[in-house]
Structure 1
Amino acid sequence: MISGDYGNDLIFSDKPASEWALGYPLGNGRTGAMVKGKVKAERIALNHDLLWRRFMDRPEKKTAALLPEVRRLCAQGRWDEAQDLFLTRVPETGHALYINPFVPFCDLGLFLHHKGGEITNYRRQLDMKRAVVTVEYDAGQRHYRREYFCSFPAGLFFVRVTCSAMGCLGGEVSLSRLPDPDCEITGCSSPGLILLEGLFEEGVRFAARARVYQKGGRLTNGIRTYQPPPGKIPPPDTGGIVFDFRDETQKFEPCGVSTCFDAADEVLIAVALATDDEADCPPEALCDRKIEALGDVFPDTQALLEQHAADHGQFYGRAGLFIGGGSVGETADTLVERAAAGDVDNALYGLLYHMSRYLAIAAGRPQLRGGAPKSPINLQGLWNQDRRPAWDCDYHLDLNLQMSYWGLDAANLGDLMEPLTAWIRRLLPQARACAADIHGCGGILLPATCDNKTPGNIDNIGYCFTAAAAWLAQVLWIHYDYSRDETFLKNDLYGFLKEIAAFYDDFLILDDKGRLVTCPSCSPEMGIMGRTKWSVLSSASSMDLELIREVYEHLLEASARLGVDAGLQASWSQTLAKLPLPPISAEHGLEEWLEPHEPYDPGHRHRSHLVGIVPGGRITPEDTPEYAQAVRKALEYRLAEGAGSSASFSCVTDAMIFARLYDAPAALEQLRQTVERHVMENLLTAICDWRGRGESLAWFNGRKVFQIEAGLGLGCAIAEMLLQSRRGVIRLLPALPGEWKDGSFFGLCAAGGFEAAAKWAGGKLEQAKIISKFGGPCRVMPFRAEWPLTVWLEGAKIRADVSGGVLSFETKAGGRYTLRPAENGENR
């Protein structure tokens, strides 16, 4: 394949991170760490994917009996009265607890004693290829180096500290947790060992162990019994959406419990974290097991590091991307600072693609079979330092969770879908109860917000939104379409689709035109003008119509593939025949609702009505040109209303849409806007306009609030400009910008079980290679290519047919095919 070390797997800075949101993230799917790289007093915020509060269960709403009257009022256009009716049973948005929050685990403190000398030659680096953060600097004549990594094989977080001068390492290591009135922390220490245990008021227990190994020198006592960190203890929660962000202005000093080392040649810190969900033993016992597995003598640190890097590389090394014409050797800070001023360097696009895949692996990697279930990627992935983070780091099912997962198969990371699938499976019994409780229907209903164990509370927005499960099903079908995993289809996806259809079999009603529609409905989070109270309640949304159509179409296909439920196919087909398609208007293009409504915010951050093109596959320029044009008009209408209502995920979605319309300049412009407005100096994405430039939502008063879905979506958008696969056709370089004159990629995947690589120069395709995992026909639509193209297998040209700009050829399982322009004199 066209592969190799592209040399764009490193991001680095010449200064420590000034705040948590700018740190470098590490993770093994279970343990997360954010490294700021402070020289003298380093606070490493640690997380565990299973540490969520459990103070609430899903509250029953008992709104099913209201549904007939709500529908009668909606049919008469009495929207305010309909909302007033269901507001007797559900709260208004913002006035309720929705889910149990994902909370910080603890902080690892590292306080190094430098024996004089100015700090110079500082460098902080994240090697995404090896999943290692390195901090290096000189203090006087001595060179200090720290390496941080979260090892999956060992199940531990490590910090290795070395110095160029023997016997010169001295310092203190601590474990502590932020002030929290809801959590009791205890701890103790002895030379070289630190123990910390936590107990939330509802009974959630967790524990941490830190073992300090040293070569040379000695280990001594530090703080032996737990001393809380300084700072104001926040008041207990009073309910509702009350975010409690950490105050980072407080000086970080030794606290909690600690141990010290002195005159050492080398130091290794190993940290184990565990929760009461993780094993059938107390969390402290599980921590002890992990630490004891290292032994009592100084472990072979280099072997641990190489084992970790090789293990991470089996995921990360599957794909790569290089875009020529970029700068070399610049800090990420400099690249982002230039981008914020409008000068987006090509080097950033390759780095952002690799960061997208890196974050997905670090936050979403499945755990070992038979172990504790892995929580899916949450709003901040695996990282959080706040007692009540933004939206409690929940699972938002009206875009955010779906965007985090819909591009993983194309990125050659389809095996990361397993935690999402397993989480859905665990929620099904509660989702059945939701369907019956809220709307009196069979099947399943998932609310718009969930935590790792519980469907969330609903408000006046959530009451109207029924499409969360259908959107997850769309993402899972994408996974099936790429993987062709028949076991997954049979054991997971097909049953999920049937449960969703069972809900809509009961929920859909015939309107006065004989169409099956949803009522109540909404376009997620989009208010409607002319109401006495803010309201999303609407006629059937285009999003509902697109996603429900996919559910029944995929049921029919899956039923045929599996050879089951032939007797249900007629019913499903009849439902499909009565489902209307989203309407198109001359003014707005693809409309947001089946009936006319005036949007409260025409520039709204969501693009829910365009779900049929991204991430869906119904709409393509070739197959549905009228709808493709309607999508363009709808998006241009949204963008014309200004950026003040957009968020990071808005720009990313827009880039994907324009890429699927083959509009390379517009797609690149949306990527540029994402980078200019939302990418921080560590290449993580902030959801809002923290610079105060009026370019996107101005929530949080200038605070940098990291959310992961746009970062994962960025990688997907970049890949979509280079490779797409919809409706059985692989599109090569479909939205290649003129600014990306030269480049290459390898390891990108296409639906049907294909893997592709390509190289282009001067804006023209030079060569592409395709691996067929399962065999069968391959259909390729090359863009930016000199025709005719020839297809080669094992050095021999094979037959390929051309029709409508699509190159078609038969493949065998495991076959590696090369596509290139015919050379002069070659038999074409």
Structure 2
Amino acid sequence: MKTRLIVLFTISLCITVSNAQSNLTLWYKSPAKVWEEALPVGNGRMGAMVFGDPRKERIQFNENTLYSGEPETPKNINIVPDLTHIQQLLNEGKNTEAGDIIQNKWIGRLNEAYQPFGDLYIDFDSKEAVTDYIHSLDMENAVVTTFYKQNGVKISREVFASYPAQAIIIHLKASKPVLSFTAYLSSPHPVNNESDSQVVYLKGQAPAHAQRRDTEHMKRFNTQRLHPEYFDATGHIIQKKHVIYGDEMDGKGTFFEACLLPSHKDGQLSISNHQVTARNCSEVTLMLYAATSYNGPSKSPSREGKNPHQEIINYRKIYKGENYIELKRKHIIDYQSLFNRVSFSLPASQQQKKMPTDERLKRFKEKEDQELLTQLFQFGRYLMIAGSRGEGQPLNLQGLWNDKILPPWNSGYTLNINLEMNYWPAEVTNLSECHQPLFNLIEEIADKGKDLARDMYGLDGWAIHHNISIWREAYPSDGFVYWFFWNMSGPWLCTHIWEHYLFTKDVDFLKKYYPILKGAATFCSEWLVENSKGELVTPVSTSPENAYLMPDNTPASVCEGSTMDIAIIRSLFSNTIQAAEILQTDMNFRSELIQKRNKLKKYQIGTKGQLLEWDKEYEENEPQHRHVSHLLGLYPGHDITNDTPDVFNAARKSLDIRGNKTTGWSMAWKVSLWARLYDASKSYEALTNLINYVNPKIKAENQGGLYRNLLNALPFQIDGNFGATAGIAEMLLQSHNENIHLLPALPLTWKEGSIKGLKARGGYTVDIEWKEGKTVVAYITSPYKQTANIQYKDQIIKSHFNIGERKKISFK
């Protein structure tokens, strides 16, 4: 029996070493030294970062409903009394004075923060030296594996997050029964540890409030009235803690509970002192469950919450005592049903294939590693499946993964670009189901936004501002006016509803979400005013997070009708008009939107030939600013095309001025922007600028790049990963208005390759193969009876498809 076990283990080790050189495996010869280097797993609800330490493993885990705080208290911000005066100031060129009023009177407070849940530690008795170490993430199977030898014994552990089992599963195995360790749960929050003869529990409560600002910051922005946790009614400071727990705030905060369920082969397994102890085992399986009392964005989790213990009992019932092999088999079948839809192949040398991933990343600047780019593309798809499934929460700034009580930007949802970017690859890379959590969020914010539109603006429809958390805070956040006052979040998110329809042609879906489109369009229709030229513009707007200089060199950011505002509204009106036509409803409303769309301010071109960002031409405060909001109509929108060459070329000029070297997410956006301009060279330059190794131990500002695990760096912010995946897809396939464009921005160095399973609007599935930089053949499958123009360079083939028909398309 022992001989058979050793043989099987040796075979398994050989397979793992071989997989490490697979184009779908990220692998390393050393464990993660810090959190930013760990390997992520997730099932859409639970996520974990696996460090791979052979002596003391750390698996830091999250559950995506664990946030600080409770449902939002309305801020009583009413802009109506000031609106006419601010419009007058803008008309008089007193933009700075207008901004000062907004800064002082329309400001809100920061949203609550996504919270770390806890850590599973596995402390091994043996601290002996190890050899043959490999730590890897197999993206084909969504399994993190750690292999090594210790005292001649082969030891492995596999970690995956199972969607079918709703658990994180850890399997430890040795070629001899030598596994001896203590496993226990901990949390950065105050917790109670409990256990019985079968399981170990960890129970706690998230902070009632988490605030990364200090009281001096609040005083500087005159927001004491919005922070009763820190100031009394007279404005005096009552406390300064950044993190406040429920025992100091009426018992508020989300309750949470984790459960560790062990099983084993050979040796002994026991539970004592709220720890799992293994002695001389050959295999151990640990099932990690987690749940919270979160019960929706409008219910108090401390008073009206779910029972997390009962939730865990419900999750445990799914398990049904299946053995590890069966748990892993179901996990892989479920995961691959999504992941295997798309394959992407570019060549790499044998030398590159034999290098660990971190070495390949560090050497990329010396010699192009095309296969590493395919890994980055598929890593984005892996993260999408891991982080966004079913009815759960959508991906936030850090996706599903966060280890800090006060994370960067609260690990929330920033709606002026970042949340939208997270979902750019969902449809085109054939992960349409993973889009659903975002639609759930849109439903919730549309509901909150109705009250805000009425109470803050005195308008119908719905609106929301740029920063929210799980509590769907509708009002402006704090900070400076050039980021907190921006009310186009809802209209921009509505483009995801329309894009999902374009890719799926799901009329039932469109019918369900049409009232949300209509509500956003209603707000925008009432918010618009005529400017001095008789054009419709937003009366007060900003271009997110950017500023310009007034003639006296004073920075300002407020204007009427920023380019981004108008582009979003134009898109929203067009989409709502088409949706109403498809659904044969709201004829009068359609007519109103058509009239107003035709009166919207047109794009403007400046003296340098650039597309203007604000209502008129100003000197830019930061010409290479990371945001390129005024180019939204180029990508992800599509109303700036080469059909309007003046605007198309102005967009190109603006992108040239901005430059291609900036923060990671911004470079990722530029990959797609340049691809829409059919500039393969610049698109590839932006992509390869992102392929820059970042050491998490060295602090640097605005140095875009990747950590060794390929996560977007400085600090970790996951939108760069999704933007890169979307950008690569955009290089290879674009589709608009019944036109399918093959290889529109193929990099010159990508002489040979293939991609299979991408989606085009209309529901088409597209496979493309190319050699010597030219399309060899494409296979296109249509789920519907329809017609498309298939384009490659200047050649166009018109093709009629029957339902389910797959056609081979060849170009000379």
Counterpart of 1:595? 616
Q: Is the 8 A contact 1:397 1:468 kept in 2?
A: yes
- Matched residue of 2:387: which SS? helix
Counterpart of 1:767? 777
Alignment root-mean-square deviation, CA: 2.3
Counterpart of 1:213? 263
Post-superposition offset of 1:738: 1.6
1:814 aligns with 2:804: yes
**Alignment match of 1:631 (pick from 651, 666, 672):** 651
Deviations 1:567-592 (A, max 9, x none): 22221121012111120124041111
Q: Amino acid of the residue matched to residue 329 of structure 1?
A: K
Q: Which runs of 5+ in 2 are unaligned?
A: 1-18, 207-245, 247-251, 297-304, 707-711
Counterpart of 1:778? 788
Counterpart of 2:379? 355
Counterpart of 1:401? 419
CA distance in 2 between partners of 1:289 and 1:467 (Å):
40
**Alignment match of 1:669 (pick from 685, 689, 711):** 685
CA distance in 2 between partners of 1:415 and 1:703 (Å):
27
CA distance in 1 between partners of 2:172 and 2:730 (Å):
41
**Alignment match of 2:547 (pick from 515, 524, 527):** 527
Q: Is the 8 A contact 2:49 2:401 kept in 1?
A: yes
Counterpart of 1:163? 174
1:10 aligns with 2:25: yes
CA distance in 1 between partners of 2:408 and 2:182 (Å):
32
Provide TM-score, normalisation by structure 2: 0.86
Q: Which stretches of structure 1, 4 residues or longer, exceed 6 Å deviation after superposition?
A: none
**Alignment match of 2:280 (pick from 223, 246, 263):** 263
Q: Is the 8 A contact 2:199 2:271 kept in 1?
A: no
Which shifted more, 324-333 or 745-754?
A: 324-333
1:301 aligns with 2:324: yes
Provide TM-score, normalisation by structure 1: 0.85
CA distance in 2 between partners of 1:59 and 1:462 (Å):
18
Deviations 1:629-654 (A, max 9, x none): 11111100111xx84xx211111111
Superposition map of 1:72-221 within 5 A: 72-91=88-107, 97-114=109-126, 117-165=128-176, 167-178=177-188, 180=189, 184-190=190-196, 192-200=198-206, 201=246, 202-221=252-271
- Matched residue of 1:778: which SS? strand
Post-superposition offset of 1:220: 3.1
Post-superposition offset of 1:533: 7.4
- Matched residue of 1:596: which SS? coil
1:60 aligns with 2:76: yes
- Matched residue of 1:585: which SS? coil
Superposition map of 1:115-514 within 5 A: 117-165=128-176, 167-178=177-188, 180=189, 184-190=190-196, 192-200=198-206, 201=246, 202-222=252-272, 224=273, 257-277=274-294, 282-291=307-316, 293-294=318-319, 299-326=322-349, 327-339=352-364, 341-367=365-391, 374-458=392-476, 459=478, 460-462=481-483, 464-492=485-513, 494-514=514-534
**Alignment match of 1:619 (pick from 632, 640, 648):** 640
CA distance in 2 between partners of 1:295 and 1:751 (Å):
42
Q: Is the 8 A contact 2:267 2:280 kept in 1?
A: yes
Q: Amino acid of the residue matched to residue 108 of structure 1?
A: L
Higher helix content, 1 or 2: 2
Post-superposition offset of 1:696: 5.2
- Matched residue of 1:109: which SS? strand
- Matched residue of 1:11: which SS? strand
Q: Amino acid of the residue matched to residue 64 of structure 2?
A: D
The structure-2 alpha-carbon separation of the partners of 1:812 and 1:294, relative to structure 1 and needing over 3 Å to count, comes to closer
The structure-2 alpha-carbon separation of the partners of 1:446 and 1:694, relative to structure 1 and needing over 3 Å to count, comes to closer
Q: Amino acid of the residue matched to residue 282 of structure 2?
A: D
Q: Is the 8 A contact 2:294 2:306 kept in 1?
A: no
Q: Amino acid of the residue matched to residue 595 of structure 1?
A: K
Post-superposition offset of 1:536: 2.0
Post-superposition offset of 1:456: 4.8
CA distance in 2 between partners of 1:191 and 1:111 (Å):
20
Deviations 1:125-148 (A, max 9, x none): 101111100000001210100000
Q: Is the 8 A contact 1:80 1:532 kept in 2?
A: no
- Matched residue of 2:146: which SS? strand
Counterpart of 1:756? 766
Post-superposition offset of 1:507: 1.1
The structure-2 alpha-carbon separation of the partners of 1:413 and 1:221, relative to structure 1 and needing over 3 Å to count, comes to closer
Q: Is the 8 A contact 1:660 1:720 kept in 2?
A: yes
- Matched residue of 1:550: which SS? helix
The structure-2 alpha-carbon separation of the partners of 1:40 and 1:486, relative to structure 1 and needing over 3 Å to count, comes to same
The structure-2 alpha-carbon separation of the partners of 1:419 and 1:42, relative to structure 1 and needing over 3 Å to count, comes to same
Which shifted more, 58-67 or 156-165?
A: 58-67
Q: Is the 8 A contact 2:388 2:394 kept in 1?
A: yes
- Matched residue of 2:104: which SS? coil
- Matched residue of 1:144: which SS? strand
- Matched residue of 1:260: which SS? strand
Q: Amino acid of the residue matched to residue 765 of structure 2?
A: E
Post-superposition offset of 1:33: 0.6
CA distance in 2 between partners of 1:342 and 1:438 (Å):
55
Q: Is the 8 A contact 1:22 1:680 kept in 2?
A: no
Q: Is the 8 A contact 1:324 1:743 kept in 2?
A: yes
Deviations 1:361-409 (A, max 9, x none): 1001224xxxxxx111100110000011001111111000111112210
The structure-2 alpha-carbon separation of the partners of 1:760 and 1:87, relative to structure 1 and needing over 3 Å to count, comes to closer
- Matched residue of 2:429: which SS? coil
CA distance in 1 between partners of 2:634 and 2:747 (Å):
20
Q: Is the 8 A contact 1:98 1:456 kept in 2?
A: no
Q: Is the 8 A contact 2:96 2:555 kept in 1?
A: no
The structure-2 alpha-carbon separation of the partners of 1:467 and 1:292, relative to structure 1 and needing over 3 Å to count, comes to closer
CA distance in 2 between partners of 1:70 and 1:265 (Å):
73
Counterpart of 1:610? 631
Q: Is the 8 A contact 1:211 1:270 kept in 2?
A: yes
CA distance in 2 between partners of 1:529 and 1:626 (Å):
26
The structure-2 alpha-carbon separation of the partners of 1:170 and 1:190, relative to structure 1 and needing over 3 Å to count, comes to farther
- Matched residue of 2:460: which SS? coil
Identity of aligned residues (%): 29
CA distance in 1 between partners of 2:548 and 2:700 (Å):
27
CA distance in 2 between partners of 1:588 and 1:99 (Å):
39
CA distance in 2 between partners of 1:155 and 1:696 (Å):
34
Q: Which runs of 5+ in 1 are unaligned?
A: 225-256, 368-373, 784-803, 823-828
CA distance in 2 between partners of 1:710 and 1:216 (Å):
46
Q: Is the 8 A contact 2:147 2:157 kept in 1?
A: yes
